[in-house]
Amino acid sequence: MSRLVLKFGGTSVGDVDRIRNVAAKVKAVADAGNEVAVVVSAMAGTTDQLVGLVRDIDPRGDLREYDVVVSAGEQISVGLLAIALQSLGCRARSWLGWQLPVRCDSAHGAARILGIDADAVVTAMANGDIAVVPGFQGVSPDGRVTTLGRGGSDTSAVALAAAVGADRCDIYTDVDGVYTCDPRIVTRARKLDRITYEEMLEMASQGAKVLQTRSVVMALKHRVPIQVLSSFADVPGTLVVDEEDIVEDETISGIAYAPGEAKITLVRVADRPGVAASIFGPLANAGVNVDMIVQNVSEDGKSTDVTFTVGRDDVARALKVIEGVRDEIEYERVQADPDVVKISVIGVGMRSHAGVAHTMFRALAEKGINIQTITTSEIKISVLIAEDYKELALRTLHTAYGLDA
Ligand code: ASP
Ligand code: MG
- 3-state class (DSSP) for residue 39: strand
Q: What pLDDT does 177 receive?
A: 93
In a domain, 57, yes or no: yes
CA atoms within 13 A on the CB side of 36: 25
User: What residue's CA is closest to ligand 1, atom 6?
Assistant: 151
- The answer, as to whether pTM is greater than 0.85, is yes
User: β-strands 373-377, 303-311: how paired?
Assistant: unpaired
Same domain, 164 and 18: yes
Q: What pLDDT does 96 receive?
A: 98
Same domain, 131 and 21: yes
User: Do residues 293 and 310 touch, judged by C-beta distance below 8 A?
Assistant: no
Q: How far is the CA of 10 from the centre of ligand 1 (A)?
A: 7
**pLDDT digits 0-9 by tens, 14-52:** 999 999 999 999 999 999 999 999 999 999 999 999 999
In a domain, 233, yes or no: no
Q: How far is the CA of 169 from the centre of ligand 2 (A)?
A: 17
Q: How far is the CA of 44 from the centre of ligand 2 (A)?
A: 7
Same domain, 294 and 148: no
Q: Buried b vs exposed e over 104-128: b needs ≥16 C-beta within 10 Å? A: beeebeebbbeebebeebbebbeee
Longest CA–CA separation in the chain, Å: 78
CA neighbor of 391 nearest in space, from 199, 177, 183: 183
Counting from 1 in the atom list of ligand 1, the atom nearest the Cα of 150 is 9
- Ligand 1 pocket test, pick from 77, 136, 215 with the greatest ligand atom count within 8 Å of Cβ, gives 136
Domain count along the chain: 2
Same domain, 268 and 169: no
Counting from 1 in the atom list of ligand 1, the atom nearest the Cα of 152 is 8
- Ligand 1 pocket test, pick from 11, 13, 47, 66 with the greatest ligand atom count within 8 Å of Cβ, gives 47
User: What residue's CA is closest to ligand 1, atom 8?
Assistant: 151
**pLDDT digits 0-9 by tens, 125-178:** 999 999 999 999 999 999 999 999 999 999 999 999 999 999 999 999 988 999
CA neighbor of 374 nearest in space, from 263, 279, 277: 263
**Virtual CA dihedral for 216, 18, 236, 179, nearest 10 degrees?**
-50
In a domain, 368, yes or no: no
Same domain, 62 and 165: yes
Bridge partners (DSSP) of residue 132 are 38, 94
In a domain, 108, yes or no: yes
In a domain, 61, yes or no: yes
In a domain, 216, yes or no: no
pLDDT band at 281 (very low <50, low <70, confident <90, very high): very high
In a domain, 380, yes or no: no
Domain boundary among the residues 122, 140, 174 is at: 174
**221 has a pLDDT exceeding 90:** yes
Which structural domain range is residue 328 located in?
263-334
**353 has a pLDDT exceeding 90:** no
Q: What CATH number has the domain bearing residue 288?
A: 3.30.70.260
253 vs 275: CA distance, rounded Å: 38
Q: How far is the CA of 380 from the centre of ligand 1 (A)?
A: 29
At 389, which helix (H) or strand (E)? none
88 vs 31: CA distance, rounded Å: 12
Q: What pLDDT does 249 receive?
A: 67
Counting from 1 in the atom list of ligand 1, the atom nearest the Cα of 73 is 1
- Ligand 1 pocket test, pick from 75, 150, 155, 172 with the greatest ligand atom count within 8 Å of Cβ, gives 150
- 3-state class (DSSP) for residue 87: helix
**pLDDT digits 0-9 by tens, 226-253:** 999 998 888 999 999 998 888 766 789 9
Same domain, 152 and 294: no
49 vs 284: CA distance, rounded Å: 31
Q: What pLDDT does 250 receive?
A: 77
Same domain, 276 and 166: no
211 vs 233: CA distance, rounded Å: 18
41 alpha carbon, closest ligand: 1
- Ligand 1 pocket test, pick from 153, 172, 173 with the greatest ligand atom count within 8 Å of Cβ, gives 153
User: Do residues 243 and 184 touch, judged by C-beta distance below 8 A?
Assistant: no
Counting from 1 in the atom list of ligand 1, the atom nearest the Cα of 74 is 1
Residues with CB under 6 A from ligand 1: 9-10, 41-42, 47, 73, 135-136, 150-153
Same domain, 278 and 139: no
Same domain, 21 and 132: yes
Domain boundary among the residues 115, 145, 174 is at: 174
Q: What CATH number has the domain bearing residue 78?
A: 3.40.1160.10
Domain boundary among the residues 334, 369, 396 is at: 334
Q: How far is the CA of 138 from the centre of ligand 1 (A)?
A: 13
Q: Buried b vs exposed e over 332-366: b needs ≥16 C-beta within 10 Å? A: eebeebeebbbbbbbbbbbeeeeebeebbeebbee
Q: What pLDDT does 123 receive?
A: 97
Counting from 1 in the atom list of ligand 1, the atom nearest the Cα of 10 is 7
User: Do residues 330 and 287 touch, judged by C-beta distance below 8 A?
Assistant: no
CA atoms within 13 A on the CB side of 105: 6
